[in-house]
A and B are shown apart, each in its own frame.
Chain A
Amino acid sequence: MSQHDRTHHAKIATGKGDPQCFIGTAGPAKFKVGDRVRIKNLPDIFYTRCQVYSRGAVGEVAVVTHESPAPEDEAWGHVDHSEWFYIVRFKQKDLWPEYPDDFPNDTLQTEFSERWLESV
């Protein structure tokens, strides 16, 4: 029998919400709105929420959203270490080389924890 406390998350989030229950746990944010960032291509053997289509692409931080454990840790119940999260905006053409030139303004936004980003 597992001794893992499956109600742990409900206990810390009730009355506060998640990600609010992690406010103040990640320290200073490394990036700010407008920063140019490249998405790292880290190994993700077990679990990730970082889509492969964004790996290696360069975008711009659009929103600094909140602090939370990264999903790669949280999936395994490891919630002791939090990171800042960022919504990053990409030009569609930078994600999909075949994206039609007729629509150069089209963009896509998606979110990353800090470990996935490096300065450009």
Chain B
Amino acid sequence: MDFNDTPEEAAFRAEARAWLEANAPSAWGEMADRNVALSDEQFVAISKAWQARKFDAGYSALAWPPEFGGRNASRIQEVIYRQEEARYAPPGGIFSIGIDIEIPIVHAFGTADQRERYVKRGLRGEEIWCQLFSEPAAGSDVAGIRTSAVRDGDTWVVSGQKIWTSWAHFSDFGTLLVRTDPHAPKHKGLSMFVLDMKAPGVTVRPVKQMTGGSEFNEVFFDEVRIPESQLLGAVGDGWKVAVATLMHERSSVGLGLGFVDYEELIGIAGRTTLGGRPSLEDGRVRERIADMYLNTRALTLLAFRAQTALSRGETPGPEQSITKAVSAAQGQQASYLAMDLMDRAGLLTAESLGEAWGAVSHSWAWGAAMRIAGGSDEILRNILAERVLGLPGDIRVDKTLPFDQLPA
């Protein structure tokens, strides 16, 4: 065991670090002061400028072949670059869905024309992507979607509604999962399209969340016409494409959710009292802080194990899938402890308690959200039980019936 880079890894890290040092700050100098609120237009412009610069230097598409602007880098080199870039808190969130999930799927399932049209521009950040899968009546059971596409000559006419679509309001394209055959069993009647988000009949409306903010959107389709050439994979192959997409999503969610953790809690417990003594001397508080450390530290170490597998040219093991199952729930619990430590004052928000308290409110709200997003706690446990432990899949009473005969 050795936590240091191999000589090749160290050389690549030095190269990436040097490039970032020379290029990163100037690209988003305006964002250096995080308190300056940017307009949407400014945010998108700055993000796009950085993405293009990164792509042109070969860092956006590291693992891609040269014809897509990459350098056939290993996955460990991608990890190293991201570690180095993270030190600058870069913009780029609006590209993450496209670059990490949708563009690889277009590349894997798309035609030569589709690859030519979308991949390079997506990787360079010229176009922003979103994912249109979840619906109001189909979340964990995503194969139960109802948005329909009906063939009309060489176009398809789409009607229905999606929800929980991140970045839809900025997006140029989305991968759209629709039902093309309501008479087939639910997994078999699905198809995937590339949707032009600016097409007539597409309406994006922000979802007002329980936080008051609107990071997610609803997207409505009112007889949106999509050319047949936008099909991703064959008609009826939608489920296969969706499953491949969800695998990409699960591997990218869970670390770095920005939740309060044991270190912040040690700080708060040191400043507050309980029973006339510093809260940090209370055994209950100490135990909960120790428990949080055990989880948080383990997730960091698990990431090291994944990195090790990549460094050895192996595939990371299934243990990586526990990350979000642990971190989201812990963020929620950590927020409770932080508030409880403040006693009655804990009912107040950052408006009264100061800007630093924002992290507690964030953990409180988004801890709840992240236990659902990207595979709920329950779905993740099904996956662990089935794929890791080899236990049987759930019995599905709706698997073989035609979709249009299922109770709504």
A and B bind: no
Give B residues with C-beta under 8 Å from A.
none
